[in-house]
Structure 1
Amino acid sequence: MRHQVSGYKLGRNDAQRRALMRNLISQLFLHGRIQTTEAKARAIRSDAEKIITIAKNGLRAEGNKVHARRLVAARINGVDAAKKLFDEIAPRFETRPGGYTRLYKLGMRQGDGAEMAIIELVQE
């Protein structure tokens, strides 16, 4: 039985899964949209939205700007992704109460039949 078991394992152990999620979220912030499998897109969606919310709240708070940047840096890879998140992405979503990402289903991948999807940041 799967009682109270949540999350996506994605066929990886804990360290590999954590690295995969960090890389996918960083690439999403750098490029604005990425194409990946539907399972991976669904897995990173909630984490990406939580990170955007942390950045948004960090822009508003006077004393917690450094704290918010450190929280974000602990969750994503790369200084460039964090810089773009705070400089461009978070101010864009300042008035939006949530729902920062959109998921498009693309159908099956030719090679192995995996369901593909595009996850992107919405334009506001």
Structure 2
Amino acid sequence: MRHRVAHRKLNRTMSHRKALRRNLAQSLIEHGQIRTTLTKAKDVRPFVERLITLARYARLRAASGDAAGSLTARRQIHKLLADRSIVPQASRDEYGGMSDAHRRRALRMPSGRRFRTGDPKGRLAFTGESVIHRLVSDVAARYEDRPGGYTRIIRLADRRVGDHSPLALLQLVGDEEPPTSLTKPGKSARRRRSDARYSAAVKAIRAAGARQAERPGPERVAETGVQREPADTSEEQPGPGAADQS
């Protein structure tokens, strides 16, 4: 028996699980909410809560003048989360047409060791923003007076196409938006194809059931009084003199 197993394997290796948690946490910090499976949302939620607590501690140490304590907390965040740059939504098309050298200048500091955290300077049209910088400066600032419970999980009625896994919405508390209209969102192409295949299968099953119901059974024959003549399967028997003639 395996003891002290307190995590979800998610059918992945340890390094793959670590990369998955980092990617989900970075996307949550960037967008404020993510849509994933219920199991992954439950797995990444305590990881994100710990990161926000460390970011709150870094801000608290910096406000009290303890630069060393703030730096230690930031290093712990970097060790857990790693870092990447967030490209502004309005500059995604421009970023796609840039060369690798231009991308490095737009996303990283002149030293090349850290991602940028400020506004664009010089000839740069835009700059990216460090995920850790946004976590400490924006996300943790909203929860200075909240000692935990920074995220929520909302179960969705939809299921993932393919394996029918339950889906959920993982979001930061305070980023939820009230519904602006009662119109349903449009379905994706994959969802439409799946619904079409399901409808075709249901119609085929119903048509087969209707054909089966049209066939007269024993009870229906008794009601109508029409009997089927049994098929004559008996073979012609030879006469008594057939053996003598042979």
TM-score for the superposition, normalised by structure 2: 0.48
Cα-to-partner distance string for 1:56-89 (whole Å, 9 max, x where unaligned): 0111112311111111111113252111101101
| Equivalent runs, 1:25-40 vs 2, <5 Å | 25-40=25-40
Q: Partner of 1:43 in structure 2? A: 43
In structure 2, the gaps of 5 or more residues are 85-114, 116-129, 176-246
TM-score for the superposition, normalised by structure 1: 0.93
Residue 120 (1) aligns with residue 120 (2)? no
Counterpart amino acid of residue 78 in structure 2:
A
Cα-to-partner distance string for 1:41-63 (whole Å, 9 max, x where unaligned): 00000010001000001111123
SS of 1:90's equivalent in the other structure is helix
Counterpart amino acid of residue 55 in structure 1:
A
Cα-to-partner distance string for 1:10-66 (whole Å, 9 max, x where unaligned): 000111111111111111111110000111000000010001000001111123111
Q: Partner of 2:9 in structure 1? A: 9
Q: Partner of 1:72 in structure 2? A: 77
Residue 101 (1) aligns with residue 151 (2)? yes
Residue 55 (1) aligns with residue 51 (2)? no
* Structure with higher RCO (Cα < 8 A, 6+ apart): 1
Counterpart amino acid of residue 59 in structure 2:
L
Deviation at 1:3, TM superposition (A): 3.5
Counterpart amino acid of residue 119 in structure 1:
L
In the aligned structure 2, how far is the partner of 1:13 from the partner of 1:4? Answer: 18
In the aligned structure 1, how far is the partner of 2:11 from the partner of 2:162? Answer: 18
Post-superposition, which runs of at least 4 consecutive aligned residues in structure 1 deviate over 4 A?
Answer: none
SS of 2:174's equivalent in the other structure is coil
Q: Decide which structure has greater strand share.
A: 1
Q: Whose radius of gyration is greater, 1 or 2?
A: 2
Identity over the aligned pairs, expressed in percent?
A: 38
Aligned residues: 124
Deviation at 1:111, TM superposition (A): 2.6
